[in-house]
Structure 1
């Protein structure tokens, strides 16, 4: 598997294992099975004939109902990645997830960009396929089938040959997809020794993810070893920005140390 070395905003190199094209393709297939299952069962339960009879002659209302019916499929990837911390059900099954190129959790804007640009990675030529069929070019079956498969190949080839295994949407959104190959080791890297009677200071640390906490800890340890006070200042500023915490510590190192302990307290006791 391809290993990605990313330099964070704090100039610390973090290594990740990139999800390979077959893992992403399999996750993509699982997600499509879920979409088709929704479409099949919802169509069985949803009586379209009743809608046609009720709104006969009102084409706009019928189209609006069809659009509403398809919304869960259309936005499946977007709301799944936002709500499931960079994963869809397919990605979770394959143990892969989306992160920001700097190693942090992507913003909602990042998720929206990479979702919208699926039209280039996977669906551009499929749309041409649909429009061509609607214009009466269905007799050119070979051309339409070629457009369909070529549309899927765009994203596939970009993931296969780009440096960081990114499709076009990832490149524009500054995101990558990583493989969570060792969940136990991943969690152990953020553990802190806290006493049983420990009292946390900053409740807003729950806004951080495990990946955020891991990067904070690695950056913090490196900066302490090298007496890199500028990095500590930058790291503190980034934490304050992400969590909206109001710091009660004057020392950068004390603040970051408390953040790590608080994160462990809340994640171990929730």
Structure 2
């Protein structure tokens, strides 16, 4: 499986499995089926209800087709329903969270990727570029990976939850973000799956420096504690 390495803002390198062309095509087709079913159902309703206002037709039928992918990627963290079914996700290649601007650029250049030469340009770019990027991805500095971060950390074997008796050790975790915690999970997963402790060690040093923490805990225990503390602090349990 082809992979791509992303350097996060914490200077931790993470390897992602690139979504295959087949996965992306199937996700695209699933989204089109959803739109077609929506259109058929709404058309039938309009006919039955004798809706004659042309603007109602344009708004309720046209706008979903136009903004479908943009709206879902913004609200679903880089996924559309089709992408979620195929377990693929848009990410930024510079390690920062994808922004509305990133999704907007991908959406604008979809005109080039999908509607000129019926998608051939997108397929050729993805197949030959080596980074899983169509034209819109190149402009937005994004790619599409297999197994979005949220899905990969959701398994009970790697998702860290605090015990009922756990008392937060580091109050400074309130200065972290959900994205930081996701990266910690990912670094721990890399060590678990590939016996590579470099991301864990680098991330431990970065977090200690950023939060001004001094601790004798080992790297893994320290990161586990950070995640548990964050879960409790952000839940308002302290």
TM-score above 0.5, yes or no = yes
Task: Look up the match of 2:99.
Answer: 107
1:7-54 CA-partner distances (Å, limit 9, x unpaired)? 3333332111000001000000000000111111111112496425xx
Give the equivalent residue in structure 2 for 1:27: 27
CA distance in structure 1 between the aligned counterparts of 2:124 and 2:181, rounded to whole angstroms: 31
2:59 to 44, 58, 68: 68
Change in CA separation of 1:214 and 1:101 when aligned onto 2, cut-off 3 Å: farther
- Cα distance, 1:205 vs. partner? 5.8
Change (3 A) 1:65 1:181: closer
Report the Cα offset of residue 198 of structure 1. 2.9
Q: Please show how residues 141-180 of structure 1 align to structure 2 within 5 Å.
A: 150-180=117-147
Contact 2:153 2:186 in 1 (8 A): no
Q: 1:16 to 1:180 in 2, by over 3 A?
A: same
- Stretches of 4+ aligned residues off by more than 6 angstroms: 266-269
- Give the drift of 1:117: 1.6
**SS of 1:152 mapped into structure 2:** helix
1:38 maps onto 2:38 in alignment: yes
Q: How does 1:194-233 map to 2 (within 5 A)?
A: 194-199=162-167, 201=171, 207-208=178-179, 211-215=182-186, 221-223=200-202, 231-232=206-207
In structure 2, C-alpha distance between the alignment counterparts of 1:159 and 1:76, rounded to whole Å: 22
Cα–Cα, structure 1 residues 30 and 101, in superposed 2: closer, same or farther, change >3 Å? same
Q: 1:252 to 1:31 in 2, by over 3 A?
A: farther
Partner of 1:97: 89
State whether residues 105 and 209 of structure 1, in contact with CA within 8 Å, keep that contact through their aligned partners in structure 2.
no
Displacement of 1:159 in angstroms is 1.3
Distance 1:193 1:93, change over 3 A: closer
Q: Which runs of 5+ in 1 are unaligned?
A: 53-61, 126-149, 237-248
Could you tell me whether the CA contact under 8 Å between 1:103 and 1:212 is conserved in 2?
Answer: no
Secondary structure, aligned partner of 1:176: strand
- Residue correspondences, number: 216
Q: 1:242 corresponds to which residue?
A: none
Cα 1:267–1:169 change in 2 (3 A) is farther
Gaps of 5+ in 2: 191-197
Supply the RMSD in Å over aligned alpha carbons: 3.7
Counterpart CA distance in 1 for 2:160 and 2:69 is 34
Q: Secondary structure in 1 aligned to 2:52? A: helix
For 1:206 and 1:8, locate their aligned partners in 2 and report how far apart those are by CA, in whole Å: 14
Judging changes above 3 Å, is the alpha-carbon distance between structure 1 residues 4 and 189 closer, same or farther for their aligned structure 2 residues?
farther
Normalised by the length of structure 2, the TM-score is: 0.72
Give the TM-score normalised by structure 1. 0.65
